[in-house]
Structures are given as C-alpha cells and as structure tokens.
Structure 1
Amino acid sequence: MNRKILRLAIPNILSNLSVPLLGAVDTALIGHLDDAYYLGAIAVGSMIFNFIFWGFGFLRMGTTGLTAQAFGEEEQTASIMTLARALTVAAVIGVLIVVLQIWIADFSFWLVEASAEVERYTRIYFNIRIFTAPATLCLYAINGWFLGMQNARYPMIVTIFLNSLNIILDVFFVYSLGMHVDGVAWGTLIARYAGLSLAVILLVVKYKDWLQNYVHKLLLEVKAIKKFFSVNRDIFIRTLCLITTFSFFTAKSAEFGNVVLAANSILLQLWMIVSYGIDGFAYAAESLIGRYTGSDQQKRINLAVKYCFIWGIGIGVLASGVYAIFNVHILKIFTNQQDVIDTAMIYFLWTIAGPTVSSFSYIWDGIFIGATATGPMRNSMIIATGLVFLPTYGIGVFYLGNHALWLAMTLFMIARGATLTFFAPKHILRSNTG
C-alpha cells in the first residue's frame, strides 16, 4: 500500500510544490520593490482570483472522484464522458468569467477595503490575469481526470512546466523589462495557455483509444448529469466556504494597513507551501479511495486511509519544526523590508503551528473526495466557517487585533479535521468486507 501511495503522492508533491514556489517567487520579486503596496496588490489580486478559481475547484476534485470510481469499475465510456462533461462546464464558465469581468472587478473592490495604491495596482493585475479563466478551469478538468485514471505523472509534468515557465516569464518581465504587478500577470496568462496546450497534447497522445469511447448523446444523460452536479454542488459549497475564509482573512488584513497585509500574506504563503506538500498524499487518497470504492474493496480503503494519514501528518510535523528553527531566515527570502519582517515575527508562532494542525483536514478532504462522500465535506466546512472561524474573529478582534485572524484560521483548520473525523465511521471507515 505504501508503494502505491508514494507512486501517486510523489509526482503530486513535486507538481504541487511548484505552485507555492511560483507564489513565493512572485512574492519575493514584488517584495523587494520599493513600496509595500506592490506586495499588497499581489496579495489582494491573488485573493480575488483564488475566490474566482477555487470556487470551481470541483472541476478538478469532482472529476477525480468520479473518474477513479469509473476506473475501478473498468467503465471506459463512463470515464471519458466524465472528462467531456467537466471540460464543457469548464469552458462555458471560463468564458462567462471573462465576459463578466467588469462586474466581478467592481464587486471585488467593493468588498475589499484596501488603500488607494493597493487598489490601483490590483486593478492592473486583475485586468490582465482575468483572461486566464478558460485555460485555468479546463486544466482543472484535465488534471482531475488524469488523477482519477491513477496517472499522477501527467499532472506533474503539466504543472511543473506551467509554473517553471511562469517563474521564468515573471523574472524576465519584472527584472529585465522593469515591470511590476503587470509583469507577474502577463507571465501567468502566457504560462496558463502553454500549460493547457501541453495537457491536451498529452491527453490525445496517451489516451487516443480511450477518446474513441466518447458518445455525444451521453453528454447530457440525465442520470450522469444529476450525479455530476450533485457531487460538484457539494464541493462547490465546501470550496466557497473555504475561499470565503481565506478572502475574509486577506480583506481584514488589509484593514490593519499595508505592512500587516504584507506580513500576513507572506505568513499565509508559508501555510500554503506546506498544504501543497501534504496535498500530494491527499491527491493519492483521492485516486486510491475512488478506485477501491468503485471496485468495492473496503479493506484496502481502510488501509489507504491509515497510511495516507501517517505520511500527511508526518510532513506537517516536519514542516512545523523547520519553521520553528529557520523563522526569520525564511522571511528574509520573501522580503528585505525590515518593518514587514518585524511584523511577521510577531505572528510567526501561528505559522509554526499551522502545518501540523492543518494536516488532518487536508488528508480527510482527499479521502472524502475519492469516496464522493461530498455531503459531509460540505457540512464540515459550513460548521468550520460559520460556527468557528467567523465568530472567533468577530469576538477576538476587539481583544487580540491581528492575532484574532490567526487564532480563527487555526481553529478553522482544527474544526475541519475534527468534524470529518466524526463523519468518517459512517461514510468511509466501515468494517472490512473485501
């Protein structure tokens, strides 16, 4: 079982780590410019696009779960039709986002109370990056399908290529051409479409025989469509709560001023770096749990759950140790502004605790997605957001200031892990029957 987990997890970890590496490079590039508001603009801009794109993360997660179960059942037509439905939905939503960009921008800046400088440069960033929407969402669908097919290597190739190109372009635009947030946005736009092109090439070359199982009249089959949107509806609600939490965090950080916003964005980046590492095992859980659910092998489901947790929690504890030892040295990689570093150190204890307390919820997410037990995931996130995160900040901010944001985020992660643990015996960890 460990070998199967690592075969899926290692490519996922490598590809996942290139995502926060890109974010870290962007932060470091912009963080070494003259003013903190550039970094604030990247933080707010990234928050807006996280809200937009993460909301449609079901195109990746739901596609993985449904495809993995079809793979376990050895249903080639069901598998390829899942991809076709996901790509259709991704393309339609992506185009709609581009068409509605003016209203999306105005609504976003109405929600976020940033300084005039931050808003000005965020709009520059937004007006370019919004055109990545179709490519980003279609990549979600294709990579999700690859993972469901037990193929973690292709998403790794696509993601590493995309983010490596993005980093090269960002450095070129910012350092060589003297651009700022607009350079980062252009780098993202070009890299996204290059990544999508590579993904399509890999899909057509490797799965040419599978693609022949496409049946156009099944694209809108009522039963399959109902299941597709039922699973994805729950994931959408779950993800909406998640991005609301992270967006709320960034918006409230902006209210504390540009320096706190910059410090919080760096610390949150450190949380995300570890999450992408642990998510390698969560993705492995999605693929394996989905496969074993499809082939009705409960004993292997229970075993996969056990070992995915061992690996995921181990990474979380290791990361907490690294952060505790190298705290200020890590911060200096991201920025040379001493006021930002000093402010970040005040709140660094929360970043040390973050990887360990978050690891439980990340692994459970992968397990529940693979089993397409999306209702409990939705309920868990609603509880963690509405009954834990928001009340904790609302009460704590009067006494703790910015510390209240970090306390709320920490308790939010703990609540997610605890509620999913509560739901697991009924939906995942049944007695061994196969």
Structure 2
Amino acid sequence: MHRDILKLSIPNILTNLTVPLLSMVDLHLMGYLNSEMFMGAVALGGVIFNFVYWGFAFLRMSISGMAAQSFGRKNDKESAMVFYRGLFIALSGSLLLLVFQVGLEKLSFLILEGSPGVKDLARSYFYVRIWAAPAAISLMVINGWFLGMQNALYPMIISVLINIVNIGCSFLFVKEFGLEERGVALGSVIAQYVGFILAVILFLKKYNWVFHHFKVKAIIVITEFKKFLNVSGDIFIRTWCVIAVFTFFTSQSAGYGDVALAANSALIQFLFLFSYFLDGFAYAAEAIVGKYFGAKNKIKLVEASKKLFYWGFLFGASFTVAYMLWGDHFLRLFTDKANVLQEASQYIMWLVFIPIASFGSFIWDGIYIGATASKAMRNTMLISSVVFFFGTYYFFKEIMGIHALWMGMLLFMLSRSVSQSILAKKAVYVKLG
C-alpha cells in the first residue's frame, strides 16, 4: 500500500512543487525592482486569479473523485461522461470570464484593499493574465480526470513544462524587455496554452477510447448532470470558503500598508509551499480512495487511510521544524528590502505551527473527495472559515492587528483537521457497511 501511495503522490508532489516555485520566482522578480509596490501589485492581482481559478477548482476535485470511482467500477462510458461534462462547464465558464472581464476587474478592485499605485499596477497585470483562463480552467478538468484514471505522470509532465516555460518567459519579459508586472502576467498566459497543447497530445496518445462514447445527448442528460452538479456544487461552496479566507487575508494585509502587504505576500508563500507538497498526498488519496470506494472494498480503504496519515504527519512535522530553524533565511529569497524583512519576522512564528496543525485537513480532503463525501466536506469548511477564521480576526483585530489574521489562519487550518476527523466515520466509512 505504501508503494501505491508513493507511486501516485511523488509525481503529484513534483507537479505541485512547481506551482509555489513559480510564485516565488514572480515575487523575486518583483521584489528586486525599485519599489515594494510591484510585489504588492502581483500579490493583489494574483488574489483575483486565485479567486477565479480556485472558483473553478471544484471541477478538478469532483472530476478526480468521480472518475476514480468509475475506474474502480471499470465503467468506461461513465468515465468518459465525467470528462465531457467537466470540459463543458470549463469552456462555458472561461468564455464568460473573457466576455465580462471589465466587470470582474472593477468589482475585484472595489472589494480589495490597496494603495492607488498598487491597484494601478495590479490592473495592468490583470488585463494580460485574464487571457490564460480558457487554457488554465480546461487543464483543471484534464488533470483531474487523468488523476482519477490513476495517472499522476501526465499531470506532472504538463505542470513541469508549464512552469519551465512560465519562469523562462517571466525572466525574459521582465529582465530583458522591462515589462515589469505585465511580463510575469504574459509569461503565465503563454505557458498555460503551451501546457494545454501538450495535454491534448498526451490525451490523444492514450485515451482515444473516450471519443467512442461521445454523445451530446448523453452529456447533458438532466438526471446525470444533476448528480454531477450536486457533488460539484458542494465542493464549489467549500472552495469558495477557501477563496474567501485567502482573498480576505491578502486584502486586509493591503489595508495595513504596502510594506505589510509585501511581508505577508512573502510569508504566505511558505504556507503555499507546504500545502502544495501535502496536496500531493491528498491527490493520491483522491485516486486510491475513489478506486476502493467504487469497488466497495472497505478493508483496503481503511488501510489506505491509515497509511496516508502516516505520510501526512511525517511531512507536517518536518515542515514545522524546517520553518522554525530556517524561516528567516528563506524570507531573503523573496526580497532584500530591510523594512519588508523586519515586518515579516514579526509574524513568522504563527506560520511555523501551521504545517503540524493542518496536515490532517489535506489528507482528509483527499479521502472525502475520493468518497465524494461532499456535503460533510462543505459543512466542515463553512464552520472553519466563518467561526474560526473570520470570527477570530474580527474578535481580536483591535487588540492584535495583523497578528489576528495569522491566528485566524492557524485556527482555520486546525479546525478543518479536527472537524473532518469527527465526521469521517459517518461521512466516508459507514457508507461501505
């Protein structure tokens, strides 16, 4: 079982590690320009795309779980329909984003905090990067489906290529052409379309059988589409809670000034680095649990869950120790500005304890998605975000300021681990008898 977990998780970890690496490169490029406003602008613009893309992340998660269950049942037709329905939603949604991009920009900057200078730079970033939406959202569907088919290699190859192209283009556009914030945005656009082209090539190479099941009427059958949307809808709400937390975190950071925004933008990369690492095991959980859940094999499902938590604890503890020992040194990868480094050093101890407090939430997310236990997943996220993040911040903000944001983030992550542990027996394991 350990071998099966590592076979899926290692490619996913390598895939995920390229994502925070890209964010770190973007922050490095902006952090060494002549003003901290560039760091803040890319962070603020990035919040909008986190808001947009995470809003569609329910597609990847729901498709991964449902495709894995159909794989466990050896039902090729059902697998194909999951893929087609997801792609239909992805293309429709991305088209709406392009059509209404002006309205999205105006609404986003009306809500988000930030100085006028930072917002102007972030708008410039936004209007370039928005054109990556069709490729980026379609890739969520394709990669989620690959994972459900127990194929973690293809998403890794696609993601590595995307990030190599993105980093290369960003350095070229910023360092050689002086495009500043527009350079990193344009690098993202080019890279996403390169990745999409590769995804199509890989899909045609191995999964041609999907086209034999293509029937428009079958894709839009109301009863089946409703089942798809019910699971996706719960995960959509869960995902929007995550979006709300991280968007609010960055927006409120901006309200404390450009230096505070730059400092928290650097620190949050530590959390993303850890989360993308643990998501490798969460994605493995989606595929393995989905397969055993679909095959109704409870013994293997329980065994897989225990071993997934073993790996989760090991890496959660390791990250906590690493951040405690070397966190201040890691900060210098993002900027050389003394005022930003001094600001960030005040809050780093909150970050140190997040990995050990939250590893369980990542593993449970994968287990819940694999079992399509979407309602329990939604409910635990609602409680954690509303009560433990927003409630904590508003109760303590007058006393603690930015520290209240970080305390809320720590409690948010911890409460997810605890609440999902409490509900897991009924939500996941009882269903198999």
Fold agreement, TM-score > 0.5:
yes
Q: How does 1:77-88 map to 2 (within 5 A)?
A: 77-88=77-88
CA distance in 2, matches of 1:46, 1:368: 28
Query: Counterpart amino acid of 2:267?
Result: L
Match for residue 44 of structure 1? 44
Deviation at 1:328, TM superposition (A): 1.8
1:431 deviates by: 9.5
Are the equivalent residues in 1 in contact too, given 2:296–2:432 (CA < 8 A)?
no
For residues 79 and 367 of structure 1, the distance between their equivalents in structure 2, rounded to whole angstroms, comes to 19
The 8 Å contact of residues 128 and 185 in structure 1, kept in 2 or not, is answered as yes
Does the CA contact (< 8 Å) of 1:298 and 1:430 recur in 2?
Answer: no
CA distance in 1, matches of 2:149, 2:223: 22
The farther-off stretch of 309-318 and 118-127 is: 309-318
Q: Which amino acid aligns with 1:76?
A: D
Task: Please tell me whether residue 236 in structure 1 is matched to residue 236 in structure 2.
Answer: yes
CA distance in 1, matches of 2:5, 2:61: 18
The Cα shift of 1:432 comes to 8.2
SS in 1 for 2:213: coil
Whole-angstrom distance in 1 between the partners of 2:113 and 2:251: 7
In structure 2, the partner of 1:197 is 197
For residues 27-426 of structure 1, the aligned pairs below 5 Å read: 27-426=27-426
Aligned residues: 433
1:133: Cα distance to partner? 1.0
Moved more, 219-228 or 374-383: 219-228
C-alpha distance in 2, partners of 1:12/1:370? 16
Moved more, 421-430 or 280-289: 421-430
Determine helix, strand or coil for the equivalent of 1:85. Answer: helix
Three-state SS of the structure 2 residue aligned to 1:19 is helix
Q: Could you tell me whether the CA contact under 8 Å between 2:293 and 2:432 is conserved in 1?
A: no
Q: Residue deviations 1:79-101, cap 9 Å, x none?
A: 01110110011000001001111
Aligned counterparts of 1:348 and 1:87: Cα–Cα separation in 2: 40
Worse-matched range after superposition: 421-430 or 192-201:
421-430
Decide whether the 8 Å contact of 1:298 with 1:431 is kept in 2.
no
1:329-379 superposed Cα distances (whole Å, 9 cap, x missing partner): 101111111110111111110121121112111111111001000000100
Structure 1 gaps of 5+ residues are none
Contact 2:36 2:258 in 1 (8 A): yes
Cα offset for 1:240?
0.5
Work out the CA distance in 2 between the residues paired with 1:136 and 1:358: 27
Kindly indicate whether the alpha-carbon contact (under 8 Å) linking 1:94 and 1:137 is maintained by their aligned counterparts in 2: yes
Aligned-partner Cα distance in 1 for 2:16–2:113: 31
Q: Percent identical across equivalent pairs?
A: 43
Single out whichever of 281-290 and 175-184 deviates more from structure 2: 175-184
- Which 4+ residue blocks in structure 1 deviate beyond 4 angstroms? none
Read off the aligned partner of 1:281 and give its amino acid letter: F
Distance 2:136 2:364 in 1: 25
- The letter for the 2-side match of 1:5 is I
Q: Distance in 2 between matches of 1:423 and 1:431?
A: 13
* Cα distance in structure 1, aligned partners of 2:112 and 2:4: 44
Contact 2:48 2:108 in 1 (8 A): yes
For 1:23, the equivalent position in structure 2 comes to 23
In structure 2, distance between residues paired with 1:103 and 1:213? 38
Q: Distance in 1 between matches of 2:225 and 2:387?
A: 33
- State the distance in 2 between where 1:208 and 1:113 align: 48
Tell me by how many angstroms 1:11 deviates: 0.2
CA distance in 1, matches of 2:348, 2:386: 25
Deviations 1:179-214 (A, max 9, x none): 210000000000011101110110011111233232
Which one-letter code corresponds to 1:144 in the other structure? G
SS across alignment from 1:333:
coil
Aligned-residue CA RMSD (Å) = 1.1
| Conserved? CA contact 2:15–2:156, under 8 Å | yes
TM-score by length of structure 1 reads: 0.98
Contact kept in structure 2, 1:63 and 1:148, CA below 8 Å = yes
Aligned equivalents of 1:337 and 1:377: distance in 2?
Answer: 41
Q: Deviations over 1:96-132 (max 9, x none)?
A: 0011111111110110121011001000000011111
Q: TM-score, normalised by structure 2?
A: 0.98
Moved more, 145-154 or 167-176: 167-176
Rounded to whole Å, the distance in 2 between the matches of 1:338 and 1:211 is: 57
5+ long unaligned stretches in structure 2: none
Distance 1:398 1:3 in 2: 50
| Distance (Å, rounded) in 1 between the aligned partners of 2:27 and 2:321 | 23
Moved more, 208-217 or 402-411: 208-217
Corresponding position of 1:3: 3
The answer as to whether partners of 2:351 and 2:410 remain within 8 angstroms in 1 is no
Structure 1 distance, partners of 2:419, 2:131, is 37
